[in-house]
Structure 1
Amino acid sequence: MEEQEDPTTDYIKGFNEGYRMSKVDPEVIDSIVATQPSTENDFLKGLLQGKKQYDLEQELVRNELIEWERKMKINPSVNQNDRSKDLDY
């Protein structure tokens, strides 16, 4: 069994910054990732993993929302004109 190393301080800072930037300014993190061919330093590795974590969580939330919306549709073919017939003015 492989022993896992504790993450370095730079990795943790990079992870947190990557997660935060993905949330606040995704275009900036995407351009940083695109311009960095090598992930040899711990900060950049953490940055990439933080971005991946945020993206994964967002995908899970989207899937749960889609499933919830699908379950909540009782009668999706309700005609808007039919609704106004029941109103008394």
Structure 2
Amino acid sequence: MIDVSRILRLASAVALLGLATAVPASAGRDDAHEDPAVVAERLQHMGFVEWRNIRWSHGYWQVDNAKRANGHVYDLEIESGSFDLVRLRRERG
């Protein structure tokens, strides 16, 4: 005969294992899109020296008046998950 408590322990262990692997995978996503410091670090890595505004909008980071060392100014859109540059529009003036 199969022991019922043994089946329950096995089912509980499987459920906990599934929960333990699912939580860390989703934990960083919200933090990344809520932290403009990560975007600022990425902007510096891309060669920008200053910017006016960083804001989250519809799944992308939008950066206004990002300035490079050569003086050129751009408006940018950066993808939230990979922080890849999606749109680069040079400001005139």
Please say whether Structure 1 and Structure 2 have the same fold, judged by a TM-score greater than 0.5. no
Structure with the higher fraction of residues in helix conformation: 1
Q: Which has the higher contact order (CA 8 A, sep 6+)?
A: 1
| More strand per residue | 2
